[in-house]
């Protein structure tokens, strides 16, 4: 019989959950036994209580952050894939444009977010633009690399069989690029959330009330530290959910691609 | 099928040479005509331009000078009835995301053959290489030998008139290679197609060919050739016969001379 610690479900699910519970219990015990005041470090129990008490406000803020995140992710995919397709058309185009795409990536969003928020009048649009700027790069670079990673032998085979440009694209380039694109999508999903939160912080500092980052700022001003931690916990859960959803999508698409009878 | 020297050559090189962009001379001007039904093997030391020559014949390289003719015409007329060309690479070169059946069906899909007919022909091609059971698997789920058989099935599914093979069994173990050689000999006999086959193995060349073209390197050129009676049945009995051994010896002598002419010690 396989020992408990060697079973896949234990290693993959139970072990990390158990570790998490252990840390939470230790944290709770430490706060209670040492009488740490909640405005210094709230115990997990206090955070949970605050989450329950403020659930309406916090869930509304979560929804607001998720809206920005998902819109930024959708925009990143649409614009990023379009840019990658344009760049892959010619080396000259790629060499001309890629430095500027990289320039956009290496400029810290915190530095340019205030500028975007000033330039774009509608606050909601400004938040989405900030998050998109952060999230778009992995989509562009991974899609581009995927489109370029076509097996040269297969490309020869297609050209020898006089494949049209459309056949090249649909039957060779896109399926070859999909695994890289999906890996980029997973990274971008996380970055969209980071972008949304950063943008909300900047906007929140300027007085625009929106999302979980704004809740964190407000809680800080009011010394409501359990509520601050509760907002933080919601951001973490949202990030994990997003990552899990993208990982599942990646598995699903790759499985469908390899099993599609029509392909 | 016995080659008829009076027939229109399936493919022809007329003083075709290849100089690469970096100035390397891949092939000196070469004249070569392959008649319908011939099984021609190209053999020679590394760097003698066997693969370059095959790529010229597949229109994957353009000659720097001279001409390549298919059925006495340009490449644009290749693909019509009686003028189909297929290429089998050194690697299986399959689409890793697609099923075995979809991989075999690919050239038919690209040619716009109706789906039902393409499916039926792909299944028949898989049957011919003994892989009917594997049609729904992906290439990653197959062994190296099985992947190569899928690649051959894809090469045969278009019912080619000219089959070009670039050392397709080079990476396989001896046992699998012998088996695939026997399969290829049988397929080639049934179809009566013209085959040009690049190999490093003199045993394989003797077993399969009706003509063996020996090449030399520095620069890549034709060095000599050897003909083998196409009427000989290529089976295990032939492989074990004295005649096979003698032919291998003759080819070995020719190859040694080619190696010496290429500036290599033999």
- Which CATH number belongs to the domain containing residue A191 in this structure? 1.10.3720.10
CA distance B90 to A203: 59
In a domain, A94, yes or no: yes
Amino acid B1: pLDDT: 45
Q: How many domains does chain A have?
A: 1
Amino acid A259: pLDDT: 56
Given a cut of 80, whether residue A56 has pLDDT beyond it is yes
Amino acid A262: pLDDT: 43
In a domain, A55, yes or no: yes
- Is residue B214 classed as helix, strand or coil in its secondary structure? strand
Amino acid A1: pLDDT: 64
> CB-based contact (8 Å) between B174 and chain A?
no
Amino acid B224: pLDDT: 93
The vertex-A134 CA angle with A131 and A135, nearest 5°, equals 85
Size of interface A-B (CB pairs under 8 A): 59
Neighbouring residues of B76: CB distance < 8 A, sequence distance ≥ 6: none
**From B99, B102, B110, residue closest to A161, measured CB to CB:** B110
- Is residue B135 classed as helix, strand or coil in its secondary structure? coil
CB pair distance less than 8 Å for A258 and B98: yes
Alpha-carbon torsion (A187, A189, A193, A198), positive or negative: positive
Query: With a cut of 0.90, is the ipTM above it?
Result: no
Tell me the residue range of the domain where A152 lies.
Answer: 45-257
User: How do residues B83-125 score in pLDDT, each as one tens digit?
Assistant: 889 999 988 999 998 899 999 999 999 999 999 999 999 999 9
CB pair distance less than 8 Å for A263 and B97: yes
CB pair distance less than 8 Å for B99 and A161: no
Which residue's structure tokens are 């029509």? A262
Mean pLDDT of A129-153: 91
DSSP element (H, E) containing A237:
helix A225-259
| Extents of the domains making up chain B | 1-37+57-77
In a domain, A155, yes or no: yes
Task: Give me A80's structure tokens.
Answer: 């990023």
> CB-based contact (8 Å) between B137 and chain A?
no
In a domain, A226, yes or no: yes
């Amino acid at each position: 019989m396989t020992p408990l610690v060697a079973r896949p479900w234990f290693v993959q699910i139970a072990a990390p959950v158990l570790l998490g519970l252990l840390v939470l219990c230790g944290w709770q015990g430490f706060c209670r036994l040492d009488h740490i005041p909640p405005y210094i470090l709230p115990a997990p129990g206090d955070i949970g209580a605050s989450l329950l008490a403020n659930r309406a406000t916090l869930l509304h803020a979560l929804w607001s952050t998720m809206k920005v995140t998902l819109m930024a992710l959708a925009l990143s995919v649409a614009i990023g894939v379009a840019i990658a397709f344009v760049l892959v058309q010619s080396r000259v185009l790629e060499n001309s444009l890629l430095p500027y795409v990289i320039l956009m990536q290496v400029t810290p969003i915190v530095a340019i977010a205030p500028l975007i928020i000033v330039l774009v009048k509608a606050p909601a649009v400004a938040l989405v633009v900030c998050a998109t700027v952060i999230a778009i790069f992995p989509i562009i670079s991974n899609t581009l690399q995927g489109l370029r990673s076509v097996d040269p032998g297969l490309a020869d085979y297609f050209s020898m069989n006089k494949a049209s440009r459309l056949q090249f694209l649909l039957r060779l380039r896109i399926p070859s690029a999909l695994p890289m694109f999906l890996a980029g999508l997973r990274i971008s999903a996380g970055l969209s959330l980071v972008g949304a939160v950063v943008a909300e912080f900047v906007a929140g500092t300027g007085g625009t009330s929106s999302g979980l980052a704004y809740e964190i700022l407000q809680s800080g001003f009011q010394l409501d530290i359990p509520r601050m931690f509760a907002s933080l916990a919601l951001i973490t859960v949202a990030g994990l959910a997003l990552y899990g959803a993208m990982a599942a999508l990646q598995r699903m698409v790759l499985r469908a691609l390899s099993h599609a009878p029509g392909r | 099928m016995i080659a008829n020297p009076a027939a229109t050559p399936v493919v022809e090189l007329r003083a075709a040479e290849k100089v690469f962009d970096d100035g390397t001379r891949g092939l000196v001007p070469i004249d070569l005509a392959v008649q319908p039904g011939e099984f021609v093997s190209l053999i020679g030391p590394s760097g003698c331009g066997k693969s370059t020559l095959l790529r010229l014949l597949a229109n994957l390289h353009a000659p720097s000078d001279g001409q390549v003719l298919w059925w006495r015409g340009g490449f644009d007329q290749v693909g019509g009835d009686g003028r189909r060309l297929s290429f089998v690479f050194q690697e299986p070169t399959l689409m890793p995301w697609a099923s075995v059946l979809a991989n075999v069906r690919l050239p038919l899909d690209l040619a716009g053959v109706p789906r039902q007919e393409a499916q039926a022909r792909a299944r028949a091609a898989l049957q011919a290489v003994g892989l009917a059971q594997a049609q729904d698997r992906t290439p990653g789920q197959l062994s190296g030998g099985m992947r190569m058989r899928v690649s051959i099935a894809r090469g045969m599914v278009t019912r080619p008139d000219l089959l070009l093979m670039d050392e397709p069994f080079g990476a396989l173990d001896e046992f699998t290679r012998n088996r695939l050689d026997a399969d290829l000999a049988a397929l080639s006999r049934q179809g009566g197609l013209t085959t040009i086959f690049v190999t490093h193995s003199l045993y394989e060349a003797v077993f399969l060919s009706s003509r063996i073209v020996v090449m030399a390197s520095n620069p890549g050129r034709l060095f000599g050739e050897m003909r083998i009676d196409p009427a000989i049945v290529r089976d295990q009995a032939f492989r074990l016969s004295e005649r096979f051994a003698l032919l291998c010896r003759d080819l070995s002598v020719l190859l040694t001379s080619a190696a010496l002419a290429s500036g290599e010690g033999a």
